[in-house]
Structure 1
Amino acid sequence: MRLLALALLALGTTALAGQHGDKAARVELGRRLFYDADLSRDGTMACATCHEQFHAFADGNRTHPGVTDEPGRRNVPGLGNVGRFSPLTWADPRQTTLADQVSVPVLGTHPVEMGMAGQQGEIVRRLAANPCYRALFARAFPSGDGSVTYPRVAEALASFEATLTSRGSPYDRGMLSAQARAGQKIIRRDCAGCHAGRDFTDLRFHALEAPQPRDLGLFEITGKAADKGAFRTPSLRNLAVTAPYFHDGASPTLATAIARHGLHYAASDQAAIEAFLTALTDRGFLTNAALSLPRPGACPVTNRP
């Protein structure tokens, strides 16, 4: 099996035991799968290939090609607090649960990402060949026979992704500078219509500019003329580390992203806005070891190397 860096987390049996041991095992299984490139056709691409922790589980590129080198269509979104989001993607209102959305990168063909369309059986074969995975699946899904199945792969990944909680920014801790507080007032005045709520997104679809023929957004799903060029509002959390911006990744800086909304500010107001947006960065989230690539060590269930 080709885990990125061939790593496992050495938690030991006790760490996954107890009243909620199956839930803990499901999260740990999902974490391991998230970093495992065996979920891709040629073993070169894991979920974490595009969702990098130091980018708040975004990417840092405009788009990311898949295993066939077919260009990506849309910018990779960050995953902070994704367990609270529905719908989940830029322009598909049908993607409402994390477990179902797993199939978009793993099995999808528009574009090809991990390239496993029609290969669910191969995913099962690869994982079931590993004794640690067999033990983890048995612990994670104790109410059944514990076997490796593709739906359980998706459910475990969803369980891990639901733990990607980002709530430790200076904003959350009430540590805004005077400049950032000034920026917060401007955001509330000019942007809260869409960037609302605890995660600064209304999770609705909006068209901010004329639709581009290459990507018609929500229209591709609904066929409604009014949905041409409409995309889901992204969260503003961790924005300072998730550039470039917009669905197409065509805005490399906060300043260009703000201007693309048709908003133009004096230099002092622009600086205040950027100070507030930067204060939404949760540095602990970017370095939380519990969310990182598993370290080398024993299988967390069998406690054997």
Structure 2
Amino acid sequence: MRTLFRKVLQMALLGGGALLLSAATRPTTWHWDIPSWAPAPVVPSDNPMRAEKVALGRRLFYDKRLSENGTLACASCHLQKLGFASGVPTHVGAHGEPGLRTPMPLANVAYLPSYTWANPQLTTLEKQMLIPMFSDQPVELGMGGQEKALFARLSDDPCYARLFRVAFPEAKGAITLSTVTKAIASFERTLLSFDSPYDHSLHGDKTALSPAAQRGEALFFGEKLECSHCHNGLNLTDNIRAANMPFPETGFHNTGLYNEDGKGAYPASDHGLRTVTGNAEDEGKFRTESLRNVALTGPYMHDGSIATLHDVLAAHYSKGGRSATGPHGENPLRDQFIEPFDISEAEIADVIAFLNSLTDQSFITNPAFSDPGKTCPLALPSASPSGKGAQ
């Protein structure tokens, strides 16, 4: 049946409109290509996974026509070779305006209960996509008020006209804000990373980690550093939602990065979670970032203000928060687990060796996640392209 579907779809994309609509009424079954130990992600009921949506979303993810002036795509701030992070503290938007926060990496975003650094109300990737497209403080893709222009651009492309009909037969191929964001979200949910040396070590391969990485692992999960209180579990973060969980876990923390007034204030440009909740106790709280591929995803912290993993350990966490070395001292609002600790250069090197073991080479080189180019696909994938994983 699947072979027949793909043949019919190929004929349709070559120009048979009637065949295209016929093929589109036969939805493919999605299979998550994940290790046996990993639970399935949660998918919104109004956007079920389909291979056709993923192929369309991948194309949109790399398309600079999603920005007002054609200068930026989603992929401009999320580079595969960097674990879909940006590599810069903040990314300049389509109008040349600097960003406020560093773009977050996208590995395993399908398992997150909320999106962006400090907004627990953005609970789906579909909703999150509205921020870079339409935000004006700061401007990112700059599409605010330009929705009709965007839909016209995409409609003028014969390839998109075909792909939207195949991906969204229930919408008769309409190119709308809903179908655009659903397609991109579907692609982003396939960005799964479970093939790092640490994954293999955790699930049976005792040779996967170097002796230095093993020592670093013991330090990371030990009581001396307390890292695992916030960086733990499937995604090395205390933010997780999966199909086998009765409710999501969410973690927003103040790490003592700033203390502008001696009372715990963060810079006026960004108060973190407090901006959303209005609660004074949420000053400086940000979502715990996943550490998957962390050696590639710097600079670090919400504003990219710490350049290296060495400085994250030596100049920030070991001090009980970087602000502890400033004129106002320790931030009184910092999380209870952010306490000073003594660590040698040798121990720092071991922890960094462990953090390097979280890099998934198959993830950052997987061709299924790369730029599809200008060629319109004549055949679409029939299953998740997430590739390898430690079994």
Q: What's the counterpart of residue 171 of structure 2?
A: 144
| CA 1:294–1:255: 2 relative to 1, 3 Å | same
1:195 aligned to 209, 231, 235, which one? 231
The aligned counterpart of 2:281 is 226
Cα distance between partner residues in 1 of 2:200 and 2:54:
27
Deviation per residue, 1:261-292 (Å, 9 max, x gap): 23541122111100000000001111100000
What is the alpha-carbon distance in structure 2 between the residues aligned to residue 177 and residue 129 of structure 1? 53
Equivalent pair of 1:258/1:264 in contact (CA under 8 Å): no
CA offsets per residue over residues 108-140 of structure 1, 9 Å max, x none?
Answer: 111100000122221111111111101100000
Find out whether 1:283 has 2:361 as its counterpart.
yes
User: Secondary structure at 1:65's aligned position in 2?
Assistant: coil
Q: TM-score, normalization: structure 1?
A: 0.91
Report if the CA contact (8 A) 1:239-1:280 is conserved.
Answer: yes
How many matched pairs?
291
Q: 1:63-88 CA deviation, whole Å, 9 max, x = no partner?
A: 00101111100011110001111211
Confirm or deny: 8 A CA contact 1:136 1:301 kept in the other structure: no
* RMSD of aligned Cα (Å): 1.9
AA of the residue aligned to 1:13: Q
Distance in 1, Cα, partners of 2:255 & 2:377: 49
Distance 2:274 2:296 in 1: 30
Q: 1:245 matched to which residue of 2?
A: 300
- Does structure 1 residue 207 correspond to structure 2 residue 204? no
* Corresponding residue for residue 176 of structure 1: 209
Equivalent residue, structure 2, for 1:266: 344
Q: Report the Cα distance in structure 2 between the residues aligned to 1:115 and 1:72, rounded to whole angstroms.
A: 12
Amino acid at match of 1:176: L
- Indicate how the Cα distance of structure 1 residues 116 and 296 shifts in structure 2: closer, same or farther if over 3 A, else same: closer
Q: For residue 142 of structure 1, report the CA deviation from its aligned partner.
A: 1.4
C-alpha distance in structure 2 between counterparts of 1:131 and 1:295, whole Å: 15
Contact residue 27 and residue 50 of structure 2 kept, 8 A: no
Deviation larger for 223-232 or 180-189? 180-189
- The amino acid across from 2:28 in the alignment is H
- Structure 2 unmatched ranges of 5 or more: 1-8, 14-22, 30-48, 202-207, 240-250, 260-265, 321-340, 381-391
Q: Equivalent residue for 2:10?
A: 13
Matching residue of 1:8: none
1:185 equivalent in alignment to 2:221: no
In 2: Cα distance, 1:128 partner to 1:301 partner: 20
Match of 2:146 among 119, 125, 132: 119
Following the alignment from structure 1 to structure 2, what is the Cα–Cα distance between the partners of residues 233 and 60? 18
Partner of 2:88: 61
1:35 corresponds in structure 2 to 62
**Structure-1 residue corresponding to 2:127:** 100
The one-character-per-residue Cα deviations of 1:128-159 (angstroms, maximum 9, x if unpaired) are 11111011000001123121111100000000
After alignment, is 74-83 or 170-179 more displaced? 170-179
Deviation at 1:301, TM superposition (A): 5.9
| Equivalent-residue separation in structure 2 for 1:107 and 1:48 (angstroms) | 16
Q: 1:207 to 1:19 in 2, by over 3 A?
A: same
Give the aligned residue type for 1:219.
R
State the AA in 1 paired with 2:254: A
The answer to which structure, 1 or 2, has the higher relative contact order (CA under 8 A, 6+ apart) is: 1
